[in-house]
Amino acid sequence: MSAQPEHPADSRVHSIPHTINAIGDALTGGPRARFYGEVLAAEEADVPGVMRRWWREAMLNSARGAETSRANVTAGRNLVAVEDLLEQVERAAG
């Protein structure tokens, strides 16, 4: 018998639909309130830009380990140089 899961865990960040409700559902607390406040106050032509900005925020927040990463940045530990991060991304892309 093995303690390993039968199927490996999926570590990919699943895409959040680009809708007001989906973005709002993906945010919590203060950011959610600010998102709804901004999107409701925006002129019709500005709504897509507000949604794009908050969609990116929601996607970043849904990444595995996002809270730990932010805490590390705040504390100044486990930092990665941008150049090293880009190299890791390029290697992962093949």
Tokens of 16: 């959040």
pTM of the model: 0.63
Mean pLDDT of 43-48: 97
- Evaluate if residue 38 carries a pLDDT over 60: yes
13 neighbors 62 (Cβ within 8 angstroms): yes
Residue range of the domain that includes 83: 20-93
Please tell me the total count of domains within the chain.
1
Q: Is residue 34 part of a domain?
A: yes
32 neighbors 20 (Cβ within 8 angstroms): no
Q: Is residue 39 part of a domain?
A: yes
Q: Is residue 2 part of a domain?
A: no
Instruction: Map tokens 């507000």 to a residue.
Output: 50
Q: How buried is 69 (Cβ within 10 angstroms: 0-12 exposed, 13-18 middle, 19+ buried)?
A: middle
**What's the start-to-end Cα distance of the chain, in Å?**
35
